[in-house]
């Protein structure tokens, strides 16, 4: 069944993300750097929504939304939207407070951002808010612990190819405890990492 979205956007769409939680929240990034967050309500086969947005300083390429609430120092729970951009930054928007925070940066634009709710780098507890994974055109994968605001990644993976040419990351996706990374240059391959210890098995496709 196809339905309409009654949304007006200022520029070309670069990514869409629908919340994995019960609330109907759609996150859309656009070429003008905007990240649009919309709560959807269905009326007569058309989805309407009240939107809020924030902006990067260059085209926004990717977004994700927290699957679980975060536990803050005051024990308040809040949902968060995460986004990556050509301005080299990864940002977080706290929905309940309307606040924007800088997570960190890459040396080149960020093409993938993902909230991994069960991954807590410095703790075995799954109730501390998880981690953020970012993948940049610099072929570096970074993991950020959201309990710390020092804008320094907790873990970094540099994807290297063979010979004189580095690997080029085409896509990546995590389902804890595993991370799969697709590379296109110089070899076509998919590598699977164990996020509990960052060992990996490599499957090559010819």
- Please write the tens of the pLDDT for every residue from 45-77: 555 556 788 999 999 999 999 864 444 444 445
Q: Is the pLDDT confidence value at 18 over 80?
A: yes
Q: Could you give all domains of the chain from N- to C-terminal order, each with its CATH number?
A: 4-158 (2.130.10.10), 170-206 (no CATH)
**pLDDT confidence of residue 70:** 47
Query: Can you list the alpha helix ranges (DSSP code H) found in 14-154?
Result: none
Least confident piece of the model among 29-38, 74-83, 190-199:
74-83
Q: What is the C-alpha to C-alpha distance for residues 82 and 77, in angstroms, rounded to an integer?
A: 16
- Tell me the Cα Rg of the chain: 18
Q: Is the pLDDT confidence value at 4 over 70?
A: no
Q: Which of 126-145 are b and which e, b meaning 16 or more Cβ less than 10 Å from the residue's Cβ?
A: eebbbbbbbbbbbbbbbbbb
**pLDDT confidence of residue 98:** 85
């Amino acid at each position: 069944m196809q339905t309409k979205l009654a949304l007006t956007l200022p520029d070309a769409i670069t990514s869409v993300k629908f919340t994995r939680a019960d609330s109907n929240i759609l996150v859309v990034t656009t070429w003008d750097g905007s990240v649009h967050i919309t709560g959807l309500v269905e009326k007569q086969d058309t989805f309407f929504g009240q939107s809020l947005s924030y902006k990067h300083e260059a085209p926004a390429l990717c977004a994700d939304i927290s699957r679980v609430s975060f536990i803050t120092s005051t024990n308040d729970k809040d949902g968060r939207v995460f986004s990556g951009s050509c301005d080299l930054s990864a940002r977080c928007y706290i929905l309940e407070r309307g606040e924007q925070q800088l997570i960190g940066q890459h040396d080149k634009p960020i093409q993938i951002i993902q909230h991994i709710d069960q991954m807590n780098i410095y703790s075995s507890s799954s109730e501390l808010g998880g981690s953020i994974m970012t993948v940049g055109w610099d072929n570096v994968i970074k993991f950020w612990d959201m309990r710390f605001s020092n804008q320094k990644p907790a873990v970094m993976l540099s994807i290297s190819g063979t010979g004189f040419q580095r690997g080029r990351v085409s896509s990546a996706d995590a389902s804890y405890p595993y991370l799969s990374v697709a590379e296109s240059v110089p070899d076509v391959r998919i590598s699977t990492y164990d996020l509990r210890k960052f060992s990996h098995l490599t499957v090559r496709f010819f």
